[in-house]
Chain A
Amino acid sequence: MTGEALRPRDAESAAQLVALGMRPKQLPSRDSTYADLVGRYRDDDGFKDLVHSVAAGLGLVVLAVTEQSGAVLAATEESVFEIKMDEYARRTALQNRQSDKVLHGLAQLAVAALAFPRPDDLGNDSYVGRVSVELVDGAVREACRVLEERANGGGDPLSEAPELERVWRMYLRRPAAAATKDGRVASDTTRGIAARALRFLAEQGFLVAVGDSGVYRTTPRYQVQVRELAAQRTFDELLELGVLPATSAEGSLHVAAAETLT
């Protein structure tokens, strides 16, 4: 098949696969056309290249195309498909802008960390993680508390330079929950922020709510997204900042390339 010349019809199919990837709730297992396209992507290298080119032209990167996850896409920077933090966290007061941004980012990071608590879980394609607001907020708070204990004796933050305050201190200071006048949980609390993160990820098709219990389970798509892109990008950012995360005993930090997934 690879030897044959590609026709306009193939371009249409490739674009169709990319378009299906933009509908996160559509899955190959529920749609035979989708399944056929995924099969073709797997078997036909020419088609695969075409899909990658179509995506690249649109400002997208193909992270993985598998039976379980469907086509997983990520937006490149400045692409029209990119979701900006400023849009996500736009309902915040200006004075807390910076800290709120960090808290929203942290909540996303914490959801991923709790959904895949061990490196193995992130690497194992059949692993399904479970997260809830309690789990996310509780774990981050505990981590902050440990850091606070360790920093004991370091003293309180300087009052002249709030931007130098450590993140854990800011997280601990923010209340976990606060009741509003109408009995809901306020959105600027850490639990409110974690709940927002979970709801958003569910809307994006990365998490699926398990009943009404407030527990979400991960989808293969989320695992791919965290493993292939988000974790790596954050790791690079931290390296750039000179923060060298300690390597765990479980292995090196090699991240598998997208091609080896199938």
Chain B
Amino acid sequence: MLGDLGAADEAVTRRLKALACTAPLHDLDARKSHLEWVDAAGYQMSEIALQAIDQVTLAMDFDHGADQEQVVRRLVPFIAAQGPDRPVKEHDRVGHWVVDSLLNVGSVDRGFKVDYGAFDTEGRYVRRRFDFKLLVELAAPDGQVFLRATDEAINVLVGALDTDVESAQVAAEVKLENLIRRGRLGDARLAAEQARYRTVQYAEALRAKLDATQRDVRSVDWMAAVPELIEEALAHIESRYRAETAILSNIADARDDATEPARRRQAAELVVIVNDCIRRHTQLQARLQEAGAMFRAEQDRQQFSGSPQRASVDVFGQLLRPCLELGVATAVAPTSAFFGAVAGVRVPSVLSLGGLVETLLVPTVERDPFGAAVPEPDLMDAEPDRFSEEHWQRAGDLLQLPEVGRRLSGLLAEARTIDPELPGLVLLRVMHAVGSSISTARGQGDDGLCLAVDDGTVLDDEEFGGSDLLVTLAGLTRASDRASDPAAGPAVGPAVGLAADAEEVA
């Protein structure tokens, strides 16, 4: 009687656990109303979560997983379909929130737990805790963190809870063939996708074994378990390959025969999925074929060396593994003992009373209120300016031009009569006027600025060569001045006034 109870109990437990795996998804929709940054009523969070698990699962190959950003990027179109009038930024944030929630970011273990009751071997009712995760983060060799879906997540996703990987795959594919024969392609697609998830799950199990072998040959049973597994897997791939090739040709026929556009499209999609299945099988097969060689190489690498030179403790087998089997509270003593002994010595920083007193008694360094002495500068005679104050004054007078402006040659000739040095300064000031910037003059608040324009006339001078520039003084007017002048029309910028003046010059 107790046996009956136990068996029934086990089935209940299995179902309870299966049920628990869906809880985080329900929880998403329950919690969404508490989000302050979004009016989440329009989003179906559990649907987004299922999509997210889909995306992560599909990105899982032997070596790769999906980056969180990548997953969210692929999710955004789906989220956008649920809330098309919401900003893209919000879609992105919802995506991140869902993925974070599936990871359960914020808890130390980044996982979920649920309590359930069960009868133990003596028939007593005890509460147990079931820990599970849906998405996990793993680090790639380059340190990047990527996501993988757990077995629980894949099981929740495909709805085939607590079943054996292989038999489930066989069942799924038999179903697929039936569906195709009956022409129910929508269902066939679903079944094909399920088959693909099963394949991924199978590859994942194998990957773990190969990884372990790479680390330590002895940790994996290569005498019986692994060869058996590889043989099974190869046989499995062979039959799957045959089945899928058959399915592929069937669907191709179905696709070509179909007259309905919808069914045609469904069939075409199915071809893509089955092709992907075949690709994954091929990948798995390649790994399987390499497995034997990898084992031999690893065995060579990790080969046992000669007889022990000095008997020692086997740290892994005799210390680490027994510690892992202890209860958490009991394990504190041996692990702490190891730590204390292996950590070496710490050199304490010494604080002596004598030193402290001395430090405290040292008088503070007095500071001169006037600061340090200013060093006497070593002065040198500066080069005298080429042009004196008087020169500048004269040149300024010369450039106080009449309205019509003058030629450079005339200015130079007049300057020469005043002072032999003056033409040089006049020339330099005129050269400067060639590129006069209006904005600078306006910024300085000048009333006008000197402008020089080249009209192609060649300068005929005893000292200098080049163009005989036209020089004029342009007045600057301000928009504000004009506005205050009732006679003026609508306010115009100073540049307009200047243009008029410059035109006159030309």
Residues on A lying within 8 angstroms of B by beta carbon are 22, 24, 60, 73-75, 77, 80-85, 88, 93, 96, 98-99, 101-102, 104-106, 108-110, 112-114, 116-120, 122-124, 134-135, 138-140, 142-147, 155-160, 162-171, 173-179, 185, 188, 191, 200-201, 204-206, 214, 225-227, 229-238, 241, 243, 245-248, 250-256
CB–CB A112/B315 < 8 A: yes
Apart from A122-B312, A164-B329: 16 A-B pairs, beta carbons within 8 A: A82-B345, A102-B335, A112-B338, A116-B315, A120-B308, A123-B309, A158-B128, A165-B327, A168-B325, A176-B139, A179-B137, A179-B145, A225-B341, A234-B341, A246-B318, A256-B310
- B215: CB under 8 A from chain A? yes
A175 and B332 in contact (CB under 8 A), knowing A138-B215, A160-B127? no
Closest 10 CB pairs of A and B: A105-B335, A123-B310, A245-B318, A230-B341, A177-B139, A113-B316, A230-B342, A163-B329, A159-B129, A251-B311
List of A residues within 8 angstroms of B302 by Cβ: 117
**Could you tell me how many residues of chain B have their Cβ less than 8 Å away from some Cβ of chain A?**
76
Say if the beta carbon of B118 comes within 8 Å of chain A: yes
Closest-by-CB residue of A relative to B346 is A83
Q: Which residues does chain B contribute within 8 Å of A80, judged by CB atoms?
A: 348
Binding site for A on B (CB under 8 A): 68, 103, 105, 108-111, 115-116, 118, 120, 126-131, 133, 136-139, 141, 143, 145, 208, 211-212, 215-216, 219, 302, 304-306, 308-348
- Chain A-chain B contacts (Cβ-Cβ < 8 Å), number: 301
User: Which of A105, A159, A169, A200 makes the CB contact (< 8 A) with B336?
Assistant: A105
Chain A neighbourhood of B317, CB < 8 A: 245-246, 248
> What CA separation (Å) do A230 and B219 show in the bound complex?
24
Which residues of chain B come closer than 8 Å to A252, judged between CB atoms?
311
CB pair B318–A179 under 8 Å, yes or no, is no
Q: Is the CB of B344 within 8 A of A159?
A: no
Q: Are A82 and B128 in contact (CB under 8 A)?
A: no
**B304 contact set on A, CB distance < 8 A:** 118, 120
Residue of B nearest to A228 (CB): B341
Distance of A77 Cα from B110 Cα, bound (Å): 37
Interface pair B342/A165, CB less than 8 Å apart: no
- With A and B bound together, what is the CA distance between A165 and B325 in angstroms? 10
On whether the beta carbons of A81 and B345 are closer than 8 Å, the reply is yes
A119 touches B308 (CB 8 A): yes
Residues of the A chain whose Cβ atoms lie less than 8 Å from the Cβ of B216: 117, 139, 142
Cβ of B10 to closest chain A Cβ, rounded Å? 10
A230-B326 Cα distance, complex, nearest whole Å? 19
- CA–CA, A245 to B24, complex, Å? 41
- B324 partner, pick from A119, A147, A174, A234, beta carbons under 8 A: A147
> B109 and A159: CB pair below 8 A?
no
A/B interface sample: 6 pairs, CB < 8 A: A85-B339, A109-B320, A118-B305, A145-B208, A167-B328, A179-B145
